[in-house]
Amino acid sequence: MKIHTHLSVLSLFIAAGVFLSACSNDHQETEVSTKTSVPVTVASAGSQLNNTIHASGRIESQQTAVISTRVMGFVTSIPVKAGDHVKRGQLLATISSDDIQAKKAQAQAMVSEAEAALKDAQKDQERFAELYKQNSASAKEFENATLHYNSVKAKAEAARQMQKEAASMLAYTNLTAPFAGVITQKHLNAGSMANPGMPILVLEQGDGYKASISVSENDIAKIAEGADAEILIKSSGRSIKAMVSEVSPSSQFSGGQYLITVNIPDTEKNDLYSGMYVNVAITSSSKANDTDNIVLVPTSSLVHKDQLTGLYTISESETALLRWVKLGKTYGNNVEVLSGLSPKEKFILTSDGKLYNGVPVTIQKNIANAE
């Protein structure tokens, strides 16, 4: 009888345990089912041949002149401002020139005195030459007259050169435009002190633009003059087809980088301004093979945690899965993935909610290539 009673109690506890376990499983399934699915945009890792060189730089005018002076003095007038269109030879700035005018007057006086002395010395030399021919003057007298004449002649020439120097310095007090263009910068105003070599104005030719970029020593050998290039304007996303026009063969004074110039066609100059940041893709002159494939993903899709970098992929159960990756070189807005992601493998490009490991995702858009 006691054994039956114990069995009944044991059965009751087992039944209660099964009931509680079932309730717990139902509660967990309810929690999983209540997780909100995050809408995402999925892209495939871009893969391309490594025959394109990417670099960044700025837009510059085809011709730029920094207007400065060789003399020190107060700026008396600057009749132009930034944005003004000027013609070649137009007056841009004037510097006080009283001291140079005084030096010019002194030089002129010295020239007049030297020329008068030269005429007198020439007459003496000619007279002694004639007397010497007639044996009325000694050779010493004729030699002295000739030496005096040459000395006065040299002094006259020195006075003329001083006059030219003063006139040359005076030219730097009236600064004119070396070519037609647009004033892009104004560094001084009337009343300021101008020093030799100090920029006063910056003049740029407004008819043409170029992109000035720099590349490393690993890429310079792959770039040739005339190579096709594509310029991407960062601010607007505008793309321009262009061509490499200059390739610098030295990096001695450019911080180890080689300067490249890419000409922008005149038909594309609208809405362009000097100083705009650009990304440039240049077609390499060396032939790449199939082993040169690189995997590219947008830098905006990366996740950074401490010293690690990763991106989210999608698991077989359609949940977010964080994948750590190793990165290589940056190509404009894209970055090379050295390991952790295969070519054409799908990853999450953008999401409309917070992503974390295991969160359900719903694919709203699928982009074939992330480049």
Number of neighbours of residue 287 by Cβ within 10 angstroms: 8
Which CATH code for domain 53-62+208-287?
Answer: 2.40.30.170
DSSP run (H or E) holding 114: helix 98-133
Which residues make beta-bridge pairs with 74?
Answer: 193
Helix and strand tally (H, E) in the chain? 3, 24
Q: Determine whether domain 38-50+291-367 maps to CATH 3.20.20.80.
A: no
> Per residue of the chain (371 residues), what is the pLDDT tens digit?
444 444 444 454 444 454 444 444 444 444 444 468 899 999 888 765 557 788 889 999 988 999 998 888 899 999 999 989 999 999 999 998 777 778 878 888 888 888 888 888 888 888 888 888 888 888 888 888 889 889 988 988 888 888 888 887 888 888 999 999 999 999 999 999 999 889 999 999 877 899 999 988 888 888 989 999 999 998 888 899 999 999 999 988 888 899 999 999 988 888 888 889 999 989 887 654 444 567 888 888 999 988 899 999 999 899 999 999 999 877 767 888 888 888 888 899 999 989 999 999 999 888 866 55
pLDDT for res 263: 92
**What is the 8-class DSSP label of residue 232?**
E
pLDDT for res 370: 58
Sign of the alpha-carbon dihedral angle for 31, 32, 33, 36: positive
Which CATH code for domain 98-171?
Answer: 1.10.287
Let me know: does 52 contact 288? Beta carbons within 8 Å: no
CA dist 330 and 298 (Å) reads 10
Q: Where are the domains of the chain?
A: 38-50+291-367, 53-62+208-287, 64-95+178-198, 98-171
pLDDT for res 26: 47
What fold characterizes domain 64-95+178-198? Answer: OB fold (Dihydrolipoamide Acetyltransferase, E2P) (2.40.50)
Q: Which two tokens stand for residue 168?
A: 């040359």
> What does residue 104 show for φ and ψ, rounded to 5 degrees?
-65, -40
**What is the 8-class DSSP label of residue 257?**
-
The pTM is what?
Answer: 0.55
Q: How many CA atoms lie within 13 A of 256 on its CB side?
A: 3
The DSSP-derived string for 307-328 is: TEEEEEEE-TTSBEEEEE-EEE
Q: Which two tokens stand for residue 73?
A: 């003095």
- Measure Cα distances from 231 to 29, 38, 117, 133 in Å: 54, 36, 69, 83
Which residues make beta-bridge pairs with 86?
Answer: 181
pLDDT for res 219: 85
